[in-house]
Amino acid sequence: MEIDIKKVGIILRKGSDEPKVIAAELQGWFAERGIDTVIDEVSVGLDLLVILGGDGTLLHVAGEASQFAIPVVGINLGDLGFLTEVAKEERYQALGAILAGGFTIEKRMMLKTRLVGSEGTTDWHYALNDVVISKGNMDSLLQLSTWADHEYITTYRADGLIFSTPTGATAYNLSAGGPIVHPSLRSILVTPICPFMLDSRPVLLAPETKLTSRLLAQQNTDVKVISDGMILWDMKGDQVLEVMASDRTLQLIGSPQKGYFEILRNKLGWGGVSRSKAEFSGEM
């Protein structure tokens, strides 16, 4: 596809000089092609966001990027990322392909969440990976009465509960024993964290599902709602957390050199090497 790119935002990973050096080089490269750039800004009028960092850097701006429908490409400056797929050595090749229209955009599903209680309702917050109810320093398990639309699922007795998108399936959900779900599928995963009952298993639900969860008993303890690794709210016993699929999507530009399963093999250490379609079909 083609995008008329006139202005690009470059987002830098914090705490390192390397992103600043690469950003300065990219600004010169874009300027030679008549394209304006801004640093660490997400706003109306941007045609592309270039992330210099890792998945955490991309997650930090995913909500704003989805709000303004800005396509995002991630250039990874560390280990191979699930979202920041382009290696830094490939950056000019990948950006040149984008300017030439040689790329595809994946529309990644996002979640929206809010807290509803006697003291009022929070604004919606948007997440690309997951929304998590997590206990703090308390010793006892949380008891979370959880519903899918008007149907009761169960009361989870666990250290917490993860509501995840398919994109976030390879994040906290995976470490908690949840399944890997291909990001092209629209679905919501519900995964308990260290559940008391071993038969309390992850659940995969349709994207139209509205999920609600509340503390079963008043627990004057440190219970947090966390979105994409950022603490949003303290959760009290009289509050209900609502989670559902958002109408927003993140427009993610992937690496033309790497497929989804190649990234999984490398990131998760599955082993094996890339195989061609000809080899698969027995034509070699």
Residues 198, 177 contacting (CB under 8 angstroms): no
Strand partners, 27: none
Strand segments (E) across the chain: 7-12, 36-39, 48-53, 72-76, 86-87, 105-117, 120-121, 125-127, 130-135, 142-148, 151-158, 160-164, 188-193, 203-205, 211-215, 223-227, 230-234, 240-253
Q: What are the tokens at 45? A: 């009028």
Among residues 40, 55, 149, 247, the one annotated as catalytic is 55
Residues 253, 73 contacting (CB under 8 angstroms): yes
Listed in sequence order, the residues at least 6 apart from 256 whose beta carbon sits closer than 8 Å to its beta carbon are 94, 97, 102, 103
> b/e map of 220-240 (b: 16 or more CB within 10 Å)?
ebebebbbbeeebbebbeebb
Distance, CA of 131 to chain centre? 10
Known catalytic residue at 47: no
Active-site residues, by number, are 55
